[in-house]
Amino acid sequence: MLFIPLPFVLTLLLCIILFRLYQQRETLPSSQLFLTLISTYTLGTALVGIRWGYGITAVQPIMAVCAVSWAILAWLCFRSLTIEGASIIWRKDYVHALPVVAVLLQILLMPDLIDILIIATDVFYGYLLLKLARQGQSALKTVRLEQVTTVHKGLYATAYILMLFAVLDVVIFIDIEIFGGKYAASLITFANIPMIFALGFVASLASQSQPQTRVVEANGESVLKSVPDQSATKETERADTDLSTDKALVERLDKFMRETELYKDVDLNLAKLARKFGIPTRQISAAVNKVKSINVSQYVNAYRVQALCELLESSDQPIIQLQLETGFQTKSNCNREFLRVTGLSPSQWREQKRQPTS
């Protein structure tokens, strides 16, 4: 009977994700980064199957390069969801290539120390991702507001999984030193299972990333075709901002949302809202959170729910069509937010409103 290692099964699943993402590459600003990340995961899982399924040790140097690369690429991918402009600026980001260079040198000069570098890389970039996640959803300002909660959870998950990889590498190192690698094959094989969950999050992020189109300039930087967000230059310390100022800002924002119906834009993200409203992203996020005790995504979705309620009562059109008209892109998110705001599903709300009063 033909033996097919588990990593090869995961490799096949990753190839499917890669193919679907490749088909969307023209419409996804960050698709190249995510394609590179998932390609690295795909190669890594295939090499694990070759090494531990068939005992071919010649692939170990490539495995080491992959292990270092996917931590770096995971950081760059998530960071790209926090900025408008170039995903990578080489004159600043070249430092992220140093761990890969160090691994290549260690392969040639000090192969016994490779595991230490891999562990250190996982811990360092896991920490960077965790630090980014702790900034809150407002940090992911180029992600559509409808998906920002899922993306934020994916950010946390990726950070923790990188940390888990570091722990597993330590356990494997101890197993090899004490037990001669008796459990290494099983540990390495099942270490790929959390990775596939991370990839699921990454693929989701890639398919729902920034809607804007990038334009590359001669100096290697990039800007958006739309009006650039000036929040980076306008943001100031808000520690001394009083509640009355926040309330005034939210009142202005309420009026703006009612007049423009910007919430109906399915591609709306925090960066676009800030540009249209003319207020920095962090200031909007802080004011909404302070005054309404909700995040910006929930704030916008509340307007969508209100608009949907009006249409459900006045229109006989299918619910799925009405949800698109009010800015919801997916049925699951619509049902979740509608339940959060009204305590009912859209169909229950329509049925209740149309019952004859006694």
pLDDT at 234 over 60: no
Provide the pLDDT for residue 315. Answer: 86
CATH number at residue 243: 1.10.10.60
Tell me, yes or no, whether 140 and 252 share the same domain: no
Tell me, yes or no, whether 190 and 318 share the same domain: no
Tell me, yes or no, whether 58 and 204 share the same domain: yes
Tell me, yes or no, whether 203 and 251 share the same domain: no
Provide the pLDDT for residue 216. Answer: 35
CA distance 11 to 196: 9
Query: Does the pTM exceed 0.95?
Result: no
Tell me, yes or no, whether 65 and 177 share the same domain: yes
Tell me, yes or no, whether 56 and 168 share the same domain: yes
16 domain residue, yes or no: yes
- b vs e for 306-342, b when ≥16 Cβ sit within 10 Å of the residue's Cβ? ebbbebbeeeeeebeebbbebbbeeeebbbebbeebb
Boundary residue ending a domain (178, 212, 246): 212
Q: Tell me: the pLDDT tens digits for 279-334?
A: 999 899 999 999 999 999 999 999 999 999 999 988 889 999 999 999 998 888 89
Tell me, yes or no, whether 287 and 197 share the same domain: no
Q: Tell me: the pLDDT tens digits for 237-269?
A: 444 446 788 899 999 999 999 999 999 998 899
Tell me, yes or no, whether 194 and 246 share the same domain: no
Boundary residue ending a domain (167, 195, 212): 212
Provide the pLDDT for residue 30. Answer: 63
Query: Helix 184-207 and helix 6-23: axis angle, to 10°?
Result: 10
As for how many domains the chain has, the answer is 2
CATH number at residue 123: 1.20.1070.10
Backbone angles phi, psi at 81, to 5 degrees: -85, -5
196 domain residue, yes or no: yes
Tell me, yes or no, whether 185 and 280 share the same domain: no
Q: What is the mean pLDDT of the chain?
A: 82
Q: Tell me: the pLDDT tens digits for 15-71?
A: 888 888 787 776 665 677 888 888 898 898 888 888 887 888 899 999 999 999 999
Provide the pLDDT for residue 99. Answer: 94
pLDDT band at 124 (very low <50, low <70, confident <90, very high): very high
292 domain residue, yes or no: yes
Tell me, yes or no, whether 177 and 255 share the same domain: no
Boundary residue ending a domain (159, 194, 212): 212
- Of residues 203 and 217, more confidence is placed in 203
43 domain residue, yes or no: yes
Task: Determine the structural domain holding residue 337 and report its residue range.
Answer: 238-353
